[in-house]
Structures are given as C-alpha cells and as structure tokens.
Amino acid sequence: MSQIVTHANPDLEILAGNKSRCTHADHRRRGFHNLYRLARYSIGLRAARVMPLEKRVDLRIARDEGVSRLLALPWFSAVLVVRGQDILFEHYASDFSKDHPHSIQSITKTTLNLIIGQLLDQGLLDLSRPVADYIPTIGSGYAHASLQQVLNMDVVNDYSEDFADPQAAYYRHEEAMGWRLPLDPEHEETQRSFLVKIESADTTNITGRMQYKDANTDVLGWIAERASGRPLRAFLADIVDAAGLEGVFHITTDREGVPSVDGGACLTARDLARYLSLFVRRGRGISGQVVGSSSFIEQTLSGGIAMSGPYDDMRYSNQTMVRRGCIGHSGWGGQYAVANLETGVLAVFFSVLETEHAINRDFIGPVIRTLHDLTLLSA
C-alpha cells in the first residue's frame, strides 16, 4: 500500500520569528479566541452547580473615560465588572461574546496560589525547602531554589522568555504545551521532560526584582502532585466546582495529559470573574468547600518581590500580581484580571495585541490602572 501524502497542521506550523501560527501576529486574534480547540491536547472541566450572575448596571462605569478608551482599542475583546453576583458592566467586541472562551494566558498561574495554599494548610509543603526535596530528578535550574523563590519568580536559570528572540527557551516549552508542532515527532517534548533540562550555575537572584519564567509555574504544579499524590487535573476540577463556573474550563495539556498551568486555560469573561471570586472569599467555594488558604492569600497580599517596567508599583507574590489590596495577573498578548479583596469588586479585560511579539509596554499599564480604579469606583 502506498503512503498517504500529508501536510503539516496549518494551525500549529511554525512561521516567521519561530512563532506557531496560532500565536503569530497575523493569526493571533483567531488563535487566542480559539486556543481551546486549536491546541493539540486539552481537557475540559465543568462545575456541578453554577454561581448565578445578574445584570445590575452601574452607569458610572459606562461613563468612565478609562472604560471608553478600553472599548476603543483595536485589540479589544471584552470587559466585565462584577460585585458579588451582580454584573455592573459588560461589553464585548463584535467578533466575541459572553459565551465564548478566551485564552487567559498567564492568568492561569493564579490557580497555583490556591493549590499551594491548600497544601501548606495541610502540612504537606514547606516553602523554605528546595525543589529537589520534592522532585529529586529536577535539573540544576531549580534543584537548589526554595519553593518560595519559585512562587515569587525569584529564580535565575537559563529559561528565557524574550518573545523577540526566536531562540528563547519559551519556544521549546511551547512544544511541550502542544501549541506548536514538535521539531522531532519521534521525541516530542513533554512538560516534565522539558523542565528537568533547565540549568543554572546559581539560582540566586541578586537583582531584587522579579525574573519572570513560565517554567516556574509548571515546576510548582509538579511539586503539588508529588506532595499530595493527586493529579493536577483533580485540583483544577475542585477549583471549577468551587467557583461554580457555567461553561467549560478548558486547559491545554502536554501529550501525557499534564495541564499547562503556566498559561493554558481558556474561559469566558463571566467564568473568569466567577473564578476570581474565590480570592474574594479567601479560597472558599460556593458551597463552603476549601480550595485555597485564607492565611496564604493574606500573606500573598503583603509579600512578594518588586516588578519592573509597566508594573513598577506592583509586586509579584505567590503566582499573583499584587497592588493595594488587589490580587490579579496579566496574560501575554493583552489580558488582565483583578480582584479587589477590600471592596469585593472584580474586573476582567480581554484583548489580543497584534503587534509582532504581542507586547506593548505602553498598553498594559493604563489597562491595569483603569481596572484597578473600577474596583474602587464600584465599591
């Protein structure tokens, strides 16, 4: 029998700049709006019970100049402001909707704050211990770093995340996440096979500022599995139930089914708000179940390491970005979500930057300030 002639999957082939098609500037908007179905591997989780949301529009938000600027951005996808179970403001781009999942990229990392907090309260982790105590096979890139260093992006190693550099380690990591085709189909990279290869002569960070690395989050997820004996997907399923999500919590995985907790989740704006409500409730679910740690969340608010660039007035703390009583996180390419733990107001913003490397440092700062202001305006 003759061999069938095939071609590369067009959504995942590698284009200019070593970017996969679904993250390339010319195709990124479609990619981020549809990552949940374009990635090679993914799982979907649904809640047993749903947290209802009801529209109670606050006209002050509709008249806010900062909001008007957000809506006018060419990259805009969605904005949502919620207090308790009330939707105070909601708006979507013409090619997006309230029922459509959006890639939330690194906002996914905040799930590790909840998971690690649980395990600390159960006495299964010690943040002062080195990673090698939990993962003996880990390479020099993390072996001697403490869990607290990894949580705070306070580790130095050869993992690079410069999207403008086509040789950055991130692009090899992306293969493990299933966001691109493997260089060698016979030896496809997985999360754990990739993580153990990261190296460092000295993991000590002497800069006093955050050293951002997606790999840190995946190391923490592996530690959570080793310390608890539970798979990551079980923790995520608990979080989905506790948040009372209405739609599907999509998350990409590697070929072995390990969730990409560094940035693989895709959610509707409303479900992201439901998820953020877990932080306002200090890790308690809609039925009172515990999926986080109140004490760890309080420690998160007061701890952390200084950030740079457009995040100058923020700290990176326990897989979150903190600022004046708020816990939030940005996502590569234009997302930001924040929970004000003092006012109980949540704000979610989705967009897709179509610049070459999905970075615009003049863009994210005003977005963050606007969303933080909205959590105060609507208190």
**Mean pLDDT for all residues in the chain:** 96
So what's the pLDDT on residue 338? 98
In a domain, 262, yes or no: yes
In a domain, 214, yes or no: yes
Q: What is the mean pLDDT of residues 292-311?
A: 96
Nearest CA to 364 among 329, 321, 322, 334?
334
Kindly tell me if the per-residue pLDDT of 43 is higher than 90. Answer: yes
Question: pLDDT digit string (tens) for 318-351?
Answer: 999 999 999 999 999 999 999 999 999 999 999 9
284: three-class secondary structure by DSSP = strand
In a domain, 10, yes or no: no
Percentage, residues of the chain above pLDDT 70: 99
In a domain, 364, yes or no: yes
Helix H or strand E encompassing 331: strand 326-331
Kindly tell me if the per-residue pLDDT of 379 is higher than 90. Answer: no
Lowest mean pLDDT among 98-107, 219-228, 359-368: 359-368
Within 10 Å of residue 137's Cβ, how many Cβ atoms?
A: 9
So what's the pLDDT on residue 360? 87
Q: Which domain holds residue 42?
A: 15-93+101-377
CA dist 270 and 145 (Å) reads 37
Q: What is the mean pLDDT of residues 29-54?
A: 97
CA dist 287 and 79 (Å) reads 27
Question: What is the domain count for the chain?
Answer: 1
The residues, ordered by sequence, that sit 6+ positions from 298 with a Cβ below 8 Å of its Cβ are: 282
Question: pLDDT digit string (tens) for 159-197?
Answer: 999 999 999 999 999 999 999 999 998 999 999 999 999
Q: Please give the model's pTM, rounded to 2 decimal places.
A: 0.97
Kindly tell me if the per-residue pLDDT of 362 is higher than 90. Answer: no
In a domain, 6, yes or no: no
In a domain, 4, yes or no: no
So what's the pLDDT on residue 305? 97
So what's the pLDDT on residue 377? 85
The first and second tokens of residue 119, run together, are 């395990």
In a domain, 2, yes or no: no
Nearest CA to 352 among 79, 57, 46, 28?
28
In a domain, 79, yes or no: yes
Q: What is the mean pLDDT of residues 262-288?
A: 98
So what's the pLDDT on residue 121? 98
Kindly tell me if the per-residue pLDDT of 1 is higher than 90. Answer: no
CATH code: domain of residue 249: 3.40.710.10
28: three-class secondary structure by DSSP = helix
